[in-house]
Structure 1
Amino acid sequence: MLTSVLAKTLRDQGKSILAWSAALVLIVAMYAAVWPSVRDQPSMGDFIDQMPEAFRSMFATSGADMSTPTGYIQIELLSFMGPIAVLMYAIGAGAGAIGGEEDRHTMDLLLSNPVSRGRVVADKFLAMALVTFLLAAVMGLSLVLEGRLVDLDLPPGEVAATMLHLALLGVVFGSLALALSAATGRTGLSRGLPAGLAVVAYIVNALAPLVESFDRIQKASPFYQYIAHDPLRSGVAWDSVMVSAGTIAVLVLLAILAFRRRDVAA
């Protein structure tokens, strides 16, 4: 008899988790392998400075210096590729949490067990959040350990802080996907809308220094909570953590309420 949706979800995702973890290790290894050649090219800093301001805002953290390990990782991994990888997993897991069960015609079997709809949503959320944090931890450990092999020395405490903010970014959008999945049962919508909003949030945060209308709403962007406080240099920004945690709590509550009230496809 199924009593733990969380355990079943994690068990079902076992191979996928290993694949995602291996992919992140390889991604970090790729950037680590390139670091020695970048470090020995002082002109890379001039190249960043010569970028159009809008382009620099989109792909380079303010004040980042490609000639330093911190600046290199900020620009090459943490500003774009790292968030994409984490968001892809979190949004996919959130969208598939409820809608995926309905697509596979297994939701009626799941609900025939002694578990409430609220418990199903909560356990599905916990599975998505736990794996998202796990993947962020894998990325962080890879940065510290693989970086040491090529003199890409990064402060472990600040790396951990950055991974905390990155994981929360993923869980925010994963929770939005979960809420849409619980409310509609449509996996396509539940993936596409959060992905589109993530792109918008990224652009708003990146171009806020250049666009006045974006500057007014920048702090509403989850990407602002993720990177604007520069956690790789400054550590954890607890006010941003609380904003992200509050957003997640509201979205999960909405997901539970929506799933309780909706007719489920057989």
Structure 2
Amino acid sequence: MTTLIIRTLRDRIASIFTYSIGGLAFAEMYVAMFPSIQSKSDQFSELFSAYPEEFMKVFGMDKNSLIFDSVEKFISIEHFSIVFPILLFSMFIGWGGSAIAGEIDKNTLGFLLSKPLSRIKIFFAKYFAGIIALLILLVISILGIIPLAEIHNVTYKTSNFLTISLLSFFLGLAVLSMSMFFSTLFNEKGKTYFITTGLLITMYVLNVMPSLKENLADLKYGSFFYYYDYQKALLENKIEWQSIWVFVIITIIFTIIGAWWFNKRDISV
């Protein structure tokens, strides 16, 4: 099992570091920009104050969060609202899709099944490799912001970046588990990509709709984006227990069902 974990990581090492360094590169751009943005914070506040409140809610913003007096405020809006979730989702939709359906697609699953490993061990070897990849992504692309802030002489709060890393870890686990589950259902990784991406886009819409119509407020509870409260993590150094429980429960359900289905399904190899 350990050998398969190492092989999986080795096969995906280029992808892991491409996403991780790509995320860090975006963060570097924002951190480098921050001193000049901070010096013009009042001007930006006046500019955004003219925007309709409904428009800002769609993007998870409010007038207080647009006073860029800390790097955490600036990077929460510029990086963690859209850029980082897209990186994380893309990486682990691809990871899950390639894990099982991808092996079937390439006609290499038969080779794995010929090894003295149970299907359960094969599934969890792929899964644990994904967790290691997730940790690498978080260390490089989020905690890597700390040395960037040092380089640019920007004041930061280490604890807040640890908190957003923890919240992102639980979100990543949920996405990985969901993608792995769909990978066990299909023989083509493209279908896994399509279904998982479609589900996440639907969740984004569910989170946005309450900002447009108050009578749709309950829809947000069906969205990962509602529970991924990056602003509270980065600005207040807090994570709601509700968010952790939702991500943990989703992770457990999809992982158990995915492993069970992969173990029992008929696969032509």
Please say whether Structure 1 and Structure 2 have the same fold, judged by a TM-score greater than 0.5.
Answer: yes
Instruction: Name the counterpart of 2:109.
Output: 107
Moved more, 247-256 or 198-207: 198-207
Structure 1 unpaired stretches of 5+: none
Taking the aligned partners of 2:103 and 2:72, their CA distance within structure 1 comes to 42
Instruction: Name the counterpart of 2:53.
Output: 53
Instruction: Name the counterpart of 1:64.
Output: 65
Taking the aligned partners of 1:133 and 1:202, their CA distance within structure 2 comes to 24
**Percent identical across equivalent pairs?**
25
Q: CA deviation at 1:66?
A: 4.2
Q: CA deviation at 1:209?
A: 4.1
Taking the aligned partners of 2:260 and 2:205, their CA distance within structure 1 comes to 31
Equivalent position SS for 1:208:
helix
TM-score, reference length from structure 1 = 0.91
User: Which residue of 249, 252, 259 maps to 2:252?
Assistant: 249
> CA 1:165 to 1:200, structure 2 compared with 1: closer, same or farther past 3 Å?
same
Q: CA deviation at 1:255?
A: 0.7
Equivalent position SS for 1:154:
coil
Is the Cα contact below 8 Å between 2:229 and 2:239 reproduced in 1? no
Instruction: Name the counterpart of 1:88.
Output: 90
Q: CA deviation at 1:136?
A: 1.7
Is the Cα contact below 8 Å between 1:66 and 1:75 reproduced in 2? no
AA paired with 1:7? Answer: I
TM-score, reference length from structure 2 = 0.90
Structure 2 unpaired stretches of 5+: none
Moved more, 104-113 or 233-242: 233-242
AA paired with 2:66? Answer: D
Is the Cα contact below 8 Å between 1:86 and 1:136 reproduced in 2? no
> CA 1:73 to 1:207, structure 2 compared with 1: closer, same or farther past 3 Å?
farther
**Count of aligned pairs between the two proteins:** 265
Taking the aligned partners of 1:39 and 1:265, their CA distance within structure 2 comes to 59
Deviations 1:171-195 (A, max 9, x none): 2122211111111122112112221
AA paired with 1:22? Answer: I
Equivalence map 1:1-266=2 (5 Å): 4-41=3-40, 42-62=42-62, 63-68=64-69, 69-227=71-229, 230-232=232-234, 233-266=236-269
Is the Cα contact below 8 Å between 1:38 and 1:66 reproduced in 2? no
> CA 1:35 to 1:3, structure 2 compared with 1: closer, same or farther past 3 Å?
closer
Q: CA deviation at 1:81?
A: 0.5
AA paired with 2:26? Answer: I
Taking the aligned partners of 2:206 and 2:218, their CA distance within structure 1 comes to 10
